[in-house]
Amino acid sequence: MTEIVKDINETGNNRLVIKELCVQFGSFVAVDHVNLMVEDGETRVIIGPNGAGKTTLLDLITGKTKATGGTVEFRGHSLIGRDTSHICRSCHVGRKFQGPNVFNELTVIENMRLALMGNDNFLGYLFRRQSREEAEKIHRCLDAVNLLDYENVKAVSLSHGQKQWLEIGMVILQDARLVVLDEPTAGMTAEETFKTGEMIKKNLADKTVLVIEHDMDFVRQIAQKVTVLHMGKVLAEGTFDEVENDPKVIQVYLKQDDGERGGVEECLN
Ligand SMILES: Nc1ncnc2c1ncn2[C@@H]1O[C@H](COP(=O)(O)OP(=O)(O)OP(=O)(O)O)[C@@H](O)[C@H]1O
Ligand SMILES: [Mg+2]
C-alpha cells in the first residue's frame, strides 16, 4: 500500500486514460467499451441523455462500481479494483456526487472541517484541534465558493445552489488532482450556474477535471473538449462547436417533429 502511494505521488502527469471500459448489470450494458483520455489540466465535459451511463462512468472511475471489463489509469496507475477511499486519498481523486451531499445539521465550516479530515473520520473531527494552516485553507476555499459569509450557518438553511457550492468547496479543499463533478449546476439559477462556471475555471485550472452536465451554456463556458455518451457508448468527441454541429449528435438529440433545429440542451433536459 505504502509503495503505491509513493509511486502515485511521484509520477508526473495527471492524465486520465480509460480503455474499453465496460459494466454490465445483468444483461444490461450500462457502459459499453468506453475509451476516453483526459489530458493533464484539461476540463472535459460529458453530456448525454438521461440513462446514457454518465454517472455510472464516474462510479467506475471512483471505485463505487466495479468494472466488468477495461482499464482506468490515472497518473499511470490503475484505479481498477481499488476501493473508493483509496482512490480518493491515495490516488488524489475528488468527487462531487449528483445532487448535494452535505451534512445538513452541521454548519458550513463544520462540513468543510470534516471534508478536510476525510468524511469517515468523525472521531478525528471531534477530538483533533485544527491547525492555523487548516483554518486558513478552509477560509480560502469558502471564499472561492462565495460562502465566507455563511460559515456558521447550518447547511440545511442554504439554498440548493449554495449546497452545491459547499460541496464544490469540499472537493477543492481536498487537493485532488483529478476532480469529477456530476451535474454541479443542477437546480441552480442561470446566474448561479454562470458563477459556478467561473468558480471551476478559476479554482480548478491546474486540475484534470471531468464534469457531467446538461446545461449547454455552462458546457460552452467551461469545456475544453466535450464527450457525448449515448447508450453507454461514446457517440462523439471534440470541441463544443464540433460536437454541437456533429450530425450524429444532431440526429440523436434534436427534435425532428417541427423540422427545426433547437439547441442540444432541449433534448437533454
Ligand atoms: N447498480 C445498477 N444496477 C442496475 N442498473 C443500473 C445500476 N446503475 C445504473 N444502472 C442503469 O444504467 C443506466 C445508466 O445510468 P446512469 O445513472 O449512469 O445514467 P446517467 O447518464 O447518469 O443519467 P442522468 O442524466 O439521468 O443522471 C440507467 O439505465 C440505470 O438505470
Ligand atoms: Mg447521472
Long-range contacts of 112-118 (CB under 8 A, 24+ apart): 112/138, 112/141, 112/142, 112/151, 112/166, 112/169, 112/170, 112/173, 113/138, 115/170, 115/171, 115/173, 115/174, 116/173, 116/174, 118/85, 118/88, 118/89
Q: What's the pLDDT at 259? A: 36
Q: Is the pTM of this model over 0.85?
A: yes
Quickly state the pLDDT bin for 256 (edges 50, 70, 90).
Answer: very low
Could you tell me the sign of the dihedral formed by the alpha carbons of 232, 76, 89, 202, in that order? negative
C-alpha cell at 158: 442554504
Over residues 151-198, the pLDDT tens digits come to 999 999 999 999 999 999 999 998 899 999 999 999 899 999 999 999
Q: Is 9 a residue whose pLDDT tops 50?
A: no
User: What is d(CA 36, CA 53) in angstroms, rounded to the nearest whole number?
Assistant: 14
Q: What's the pLDDT at 174? A: 86
Q: What's the pLDDT at 147? A: 97
Which atom of ligand 1 lies closest to the CA of 232?
14
Q: What's the pLDDT at 11? A: 53
Mutate to test the pocket of ligand 1, among 25, 58, 235 (most ligand atoms within 8 A of CB): 25
Over residues 72-107, the pLDDT tens digits come to 999 989 999 998 888 887 878 988 887 778 999 999
User: What is d(CA 159, CA 169) in angstroms, rounded to the nearest whole number?
Assistant: 15
Share of the chain above pLDDT 90, in %: 67
Mutate to test the pocket of ligand 1, among 21, 27, 32, 54 (most ligand atoms within 8 A of CB): 54
Over residues 122-150, the pLDDT tens digits come to 666 666 777 889 899 999 999 999 999 99
